[in-house]
Every structure is written in C-alpha cells, then in structure tokens.
Structure 1
Amino acid sequence: MDQTLAPIAAPIPVRASSTDDPAELLRFAIDARCLGAAALATLVEIRGGAARSLGAHMAVAADGRFCGYVSGGCVEAAVAAEALLAMAQGRDRMVKFGDGSPFFDIVLPCGGGITVAIHVLKDVGALRHVLDRLERRQAAALVYSGERQTLISVDPPLRTCWTEGNFLTVYRPRTRVVVSGRTIEAQAVARLAEASGYDVIVRGRGEGAADTIDPFTAVVLLHHDLDAEAVILEAALHSPVFYIGALGSTRTHRRRVERLTALGFRRDDIDRIKAPIGMFGPTRDATSLALSVLADVAAARLVAYA
C-alpha cells in the first residue's frame, strides 16, 4: 500500500533567553552550531529611528530557539523564522523590516526601518576568537562579507560600520566598576552595579587598584576622607579609565584639587574627576546616590565608545 510521507514541520521560533549581552549571544551561537546548524543575525542598517544600535545581534539555533534583539522585540520572531529558512537553504540572506520592507504587516513602533544580515555559521572559530579577547578585556571585531558569506575576526576599528562593502561589528568588554570605600554608599553602588550586569570590584583604600583598571573601567571613589582615596585616585589618573567620580562637596573637591596640583598633576588630568559625583544631586540617601552614580557611569560609557 502506498504511503505518502507527511512533510516535516518547520521549527517554531521560541525565545530561549532575554539577554542582549553580545558575549552571551556568541556563546549561544557556538553551542547551537556544535549541536547542528546555527545562524547569527546582525542589524546592519537603520532607516529613521530604531530601538537598537548597529551591530546588535540575534543568535538562532536550528531547533528554533533564539536569543538577542535587533529591535525592541517586535520583529525578532520574524527574524528567527528568516534565519531558519536560511539554514534550511544553506544560504545567507539580507532582510528588511519596517520602512522599505516587503513585510507590510510588520511595523516598527518607531516608524523607521532596519536591515538584518543573516549569516549561516559554517564554523565558530571567529566567534571563539572574539570571546577570548573579551575574556582578556580586549576589544575585538568581526567582519561580515555578504558576497562571500563569510565571517572572520579582525583587529577592531573605532566603531561598528560598513567599509568596502563589508560590515564590521566591534565588541568591547563589559563595563567594570571599581568601587573604593567601606561606606554605606559604596555598598549601595556595588549592589546596584552587580544587578545591572557590570563587572564589580570593591576596594577598601585602593589596594591593588592598578591591576584592576583598564580603558573599560569606571572608578568610583566613595570615601569620607581624602587620605583614604589617595592611592586609587592617583592610579586612576595615571590610567585610561573612562570615568572617575569622587564623593564630596564642592569645598571638599577644592581641597582635592589643591592636593593633586601639589603632587604635579596637570589641570586637564584633574578635570577628568567628576566631583561631586553623580548625574544628579545633591542626594540624601545611599540608594539615590547609587542611581545617580551609575546613570553617570552609563552616560560616560556611551560618550566614550559611541
């Protein structure tokens, strides 16, 4: 008796996690590729407004699981479905959503449009290289060629961009917040920074500070004594950290400036210190101060690595 085989249903896209951390997305893609097929979707064009920046990723597994965002959540399932089609066909694809897209039923709330490049992963060597550099707190980059359908690791440029027909995505280590102090304010900042996903290091009076700071570090000084902050403040001023903030009133900061000037620090070095610390103030409780400080740190990171 003849039997007709029923077609195999395509996997249904389902979100595996809500993370948008690039390192976690690359790890997801590596694990998915080791189990079978996988794709990496990248936001490569923005038309008008957008919820994410260029270079934002989604990782999609052959079984339909996906993570990451290229928008605010309104197109991600559709991107995952396109990635599953790309994997089934074994070919990369470039897909538009929102303004200028053939998908008239998918509208971005911002009214703009995006283009997403979907790359079917052939190997994960380049992704592993990026993760290795990030683990060593070094910047990294991937260059995607739609024409050759390749993804390779390169030395990172200054920013994510198109160049010579290829798309370069830059990755930087996550923000490290070095909190110096044994005050209630220091405890509040450390708790909130950890909850925000930052790499948090707490120091009492600056011991070992030079070994923990790099260009992706914010140094937060939360002492009630200028002598207690001296070691880590001087180390921060001699380093390429992107943020230095210090607790204290305007009068306290004038004394700080006098001390640093006497030690031979130049005015442009001293001007790197945000004091009084924080984005808004004055604050009268530790929680408000922590919010003010970390908002300032986040804003400074965006300016430093826009």
Structure 2
Amino acid sequence: MDEDTIDVLTPAPVRALTTDDTIEILGFASACLKEGSDVVLATLVEIRGGAARALGSHMVVAADGRFCGYVSGGCVEAAVAREALLALVKGCDRIVTFGDGSPFFDIVLPCGGSITIAIHLLKDGRPIEEVLRRIDERRPAGLRYCREWQSLQFVEPPERAGWQGGDFLTNYRPRTRVVISGQTVEASAVARLAAASQFDVLVYENGESGRDTVRQVDAYTAILFLHHDLDREESLLRRVLGSPAFYVGALGSTRTHRKRVERLKELGYGNDDIARIKAPIGIFGPTRDAYSLALSVMADVVACRLAIYG
C-alpha cells in the first residue's frame, strides 16, 4: 500500500490541546494510552539553522488524529501529525526532516533552517508515567530514545537534551515555583502574573511563616520578598539564604538594600550569602507601578532560570 493510499485511509489531524508545556503533552499521551488508543511521540532531535523550539520538544499524536504539542512555531505540526499517523499504519518508527534540504519542498520554515523529528510508536507508557510521577514529586527526570531498537526508557536526567551515541536523551524539570512574601499591591500583581504564566505560586502575607515556607523551597524555586518594611522580611529572608532556591529577590531601593546588607552582616552572614539577593528586584527599573514591577520581576526570574537550566 503506497503512502497516497494510506493517507486517504488515515484520519485528518486535529489539534486537541493548544499547549507547549511538556508535562501537559506527556499527560495527554498517558491519557490516550489509558483510553486504549495507539499513540505516537514525536521529538525534535536535530536543528540546523534557527528554530522556534528547543531540542527535545514534543508532539503527541493519537490514532484518531488528535494531537498536541509543538516542534516548530506552528508551520509543520499538521505535517508531523500526518507522518505520525503514517507511522502507525506502517507499524514502525521513522525520522523525518522539514525545511532546507527536506523532500517536503512545499513546507518551508520561516527561519530558513531545517529540523529533524523522531517519530516513535509508543508501545509502553511506563517510562512516561515515571516521568510524570517524578515531576509531580518535583524531581527532574529523563527519557532515552533508542533509534535502533525503536524503544523508549526512563533514565536519570541528562544535563541537556541531545544525542548520546545512537540514542536521543531528553530532560524534564519541575515547573518554576514562585514563593512570594508580602502583603502589598506589588505582591498581588506579581502573584497574578506568575499564575497566568502557569507557575506554581505560593503567597505568604506574613513574613514570619518561615518554617512552612522553607519546606516548599527547592532548586526550581524563586523567592520574592515584596515588603516595604525590612523588619517584615528579615526572619524569612534569613531562613532562605541557605536554601537551594535558584533566585532570591527583594523589593526596595539601592539605599534600602544597603541597610538590608548591613543588618545581615551584623547577624553574621557572609558576602556569598548576601550576594544571592537580587535587589533592587527585577530586570529593569526603577518602576513606579505594580504591573510594571510584576513584568520586571517575572522577566528576571525567567531569565535566571533559563541561564541555569536552559
């Protein structure tokens, strides 16, 4: 049976979810498998030139044509879904290239480069379930795709997604948790923006909630002190300086931060601890309204996470 005939027999691809959140995409795969559907996991495994998505980005395609996820800016996803459905009919994995040098001459990437997608028939859902479980526990996870054996297995997370010999490794990390200490209009604005960005948001209006807060902090946590009174932040700030949080920021002018530094030094904190505090908080400033501050703060948090984890 040729591909034109197969194409007539396969369902038309239709987007089921508009998301590029990896955990939501893997969750869709898990749900489809539990429904009894055959499922394909498509992974961006090579980029030449520019690209809209990072290596390791996923799409998931169900046998009925439903799909979600992105491997580009939206220009090849329907074509990838079609190739995934063809792979299901033929019963084997495939590697497909789009863009410059691709046989799909009618599909052009706006960036001018090309991308390669590994299309894998997901025969065993256990590796994905393990990734979802680890992320739910706020622990990183990884998957190894073996092209030769057309298999997928759970592994400890690599530093970066990419090829390792003949296998492609993908890493997954918990979503950013934002802990906000403050009872101010600025704290409310930052909390709303963080929630809209699908971050895990915890707000503590009382700066004395130290023990409860520290238990929530891990390496994927940003801690934001949005008080107008140094006394309100001091107890909690002292607790989190030794935490694994990737970002600690505090509201206040340069003059206010000098007072903060003096207090911490008097309490015995060293330069390395104090240097963890980003103050004045935010990526640009000064700001004169809560919403501008919220944008500045969240941009700084995202930039810091990307610099550390990619």
Q: Under a length normalisation based on structure 1, what TM-score does the superposition of the two structures give?
A: 0.96
Which residue of structure 1 aligns with residue 187 of structure 2? 186
Which residue of structure 2 aligns with residue 252 of structure 1? 256
1:32 touches 1:62 (CA, 8 Å); kept in 2?
no
Which residue of structure 2 aligns with residue 96 of structure 1? 97
What displacement does 1:90 show? 1.2
Query: Partner letter of residue 41 of structure 1?
Result: A
Which residue of structure 1 aligns with residue 16 of structure 2? 16
Aligned equivalents of 2:288, 2:297: Cα separation in 1: 13
Aligned equivalents of 1:219, 1:182: Cα separation in 2: 15
User: Structure 1 residue aligned with 2:230, among 210, 220, 226?
Assistant: 226
Aligned equivalents of 2:159, 2:8: Cα separation in 1: 46
SS at match of 1:117: strand
SS at match of 2:9: coil
Which residue of structure 1 aligns with residue 217 of structure 2? 213
1:161-176 equivalences under 5 Å are 161-176=162-177
What displacement does 1:225 show? 0.9
Aligned equivalents of 2:239, 2:271: Cα separation in 1: 16
SS at match of 1:16: strand
Aligned equivalents of 2:52, 2:70: Cα separation in 1: 9
SS at match of 1:12: coil
Q: Give runs of ≥4 in structure 1 deviating > 3 Å.
A: none
Which residue of structure 2 aligns with residue 3 of structure 1? none
Residues 253-285 of structure 1 show CA distances to partners (whole Å, capped at 9, x for unaligned) of: 001111111222221221111100001111111
1:180 touches 1:206 (CA, 8 Å); kept in 2?
no
Tell me whether 1:297 sits opposite 2:301 in the alignment: yes
Q: Among all aligned residue pairs of Structure 1 and Structure 2, give the percentage whose two residues are the same amino acid.
A: 63
What displacement does 1:230 show? 1.5
Which residue of structure 1 aligns with residue 130 of structure 2? 129
Residues 103-151 of structure 1 show CA distances to partners (whole Å, capped at 9, x for unaligned) of: 1110000111100001100010000000000000000000000101010
Which residue of structure 2 aligns with residue 27 of structure 1? 27
1:195-214 equivalences under 5 Å are 195-204=196-205, 205-207=207-209, 208-214=212-218
1:143 touches 1:154 (CA, 8 Å); kept in 2?
yes
Number of residue equivalences = 300
Residues 168-217 of structure 1 show CA distances to partners (whole Å, capped at 9, x for unaligned) of: 10000000000110100000000111011110000121511111110000
Query: Partner letter of residue 173 of structure 1?
Result: P
User: RMSD over aligned Cα, in angstroms?
Assistant: 1.1
What displacement does 1:9 show? 2.8
Query: Partner letter of residue 108 of structure 2?
Result: V
Aligned equivalents of 2:51, 2:268: Cα separation in 1: 47
Aligned equivalents of 1:232, 1:37: Cα separation in 2: 50
Q: Which runs of 5+ in 2 are unaligned?
A: 1-6
What displacement does 1:232 show? 2.3
Aligned equivalents of 1:122, 1:38: Cα separation in 2: 8
Which residue of structure 1 aligns with residue 284 of structure 2? 280
Aligned equivalents of 1:275, 1:286: Cα separation in 2: 16
1:209 touches 1:235 (CA, 8 Å); kept in 2?
no
Q: Under a length normalisation based on structure 2, what TM-score does the superposition of the two structures give?
A: 0.95
Aligned equivalents of 2:95, 2:22: Cα separation in 1: 20
1:94 touches 1:115 (CA, 8 Å); kept in 2?
yes
Aligned equivalents of 2:144, 2:281: Cα separation in 1: 39
Residues 10-44 of structure 1 show CA distances to partners (whole Å, capped at 9, x for unaligned) of: 10001111111111111111121232210000000
Aligned equivalents of 1:276, 1:269: Cα separation in 2: 16
Indicate how the Cα distance of structure 1 residues 202 and 102 shifts in structure 2: closer, same or farther if over 3 A, else same: same
Aligned equivalents of 2:146, 2:236: Cα separation in 1: 45
What displacement does 1:304 show? 1.0
Aligned equivalents of 1:90, 1:144: Cα separation in 2: 17
1:130 touches 1:153 (CA, 8 Å); kept in 2?
yes
What displacement does 1:8 show? 7.0
1:206 touches 1:232 (CA, 8 Å); kept in 2?
yes
Which residue of structure 1 aligns with residue 49 of structure 2? 48
1:38 touches 1:62 (CA, 8 Å); kept in 2?
yes
